[in-house]
Amino acid sequence: MVIKAIFFDLDDTLHDHLLPFSNALIATLPINYREIDVVSLYKKFRHFSDILWKSYSAKELTLKNLRINRIMLALESYDIRITIKQAVEFQNQYEHDSKKLHLFPDVTAVLKTIINYGLTLGIITNGPIEHQFKKIQSLGLTKYFNRDLIFISDEVGIAKPSPELFVHVAQRTGFAPNEHLYIGDTWSNDIAASSEAGWQSIWYNHRNRLPETNHKPLTIIEKLSSVLAVINEMDQKT
């Protein structure tokens, strides 16, 4: 098996998405922060964000309402109710804290090594165009990723978990589906969706989630740097 292109998810794969979430919770909902394990709540937050994104993509929900509803639904799953005003305050703080994002420590070394291998390198992410690209710029990722290989769902008009997004990307690269490797932290959006499109995948499961379907990634990793060992092993088999 020859891999010619490696694509990454953005949020909570290349940068720590939990930190701004935790900081916003402490600042605006400190009682709830003390009541619930923040990692568990964050997983619920991401879960409802992914569910609501489908409605947003279908133009059944505004982006503003998506952002308000996801924290309310996450807390409701723990039998905690907050007001719309509190949800807005949380979202405003979350957006503020999200301007201070940091790459995971091993990201830079991983990207530099992949570039040295001569492989095509890209990003596939759900989100509004300007919002996501600003994050990519602020994280310094434009040094490693060409703009024409950064695919943002609102720009393409297709969102994960639709496999069609990965089909679209493969058409753009010109490589066969199984010559692409996708690395992401979310099962449905990243592993199931890319697998359905015929891609290879690696599940970056650093939040200790459980698989949701019978799809089979190449492997499951807890450190992003482990990607390099997988690539080297695949290279030796070809």
For 88-147, the pLDDT digits (tens) are 999 999 999 988 899 999 999 999 999 999 999 999 999 999 999 999 999 999 999 999
For 60-83, the pLDDT digits (tens) are 999 999 999 999 999 999 999 999
For 155-200, the pLDDT digits (tens) are 999 999 999 999 999 999 999 999 999 999 999 999 999 999 999 9
Please give the distance of CA 133 from its chain centroid, rounded to a whole number. 14
Cis peptide before 161 (omega within 30 of 0): yes
Q: Is CATH 3.40.50.300 what the domain over 5-15+101-237 is classified as, yes or no?
A: no
Given a contact cutoff of 8 angstroms between Cβ atoms, the answer to whether 151 and 157 are in contact is no
Residue ranges of domains in the chain: 5-15+101-237, 18-100
Determine the Cα–Cα distance for residues 205 and 228; give it in Å rounded to an integer.
Answer: 16
pLDDT for 236 beyond 70: no
| Phi-psi sector, 30: left (phi>0), alpha (psi -120 to 50), beta | alpha
Give 100-154 as a DSSP string.
G--B-TTHHHHHHHHHHTT-EEEEEE-S-HHHHHHHHHHTTGGGTS-GGGEEEHH
For 17-61, the pLDDT digits (tens) are 999 999 999 999 998 888 899 999 999 999 999 999 989 998 999
Report the run of H or E that residue 32 belongs to, with start and end.
helix 30-35
| pLDDT for residue 32 | 87
Tokens 């924290």 found at: 71
Tokens 């490693």 found at: 144
* Assigned token pair, 18: 């939990």
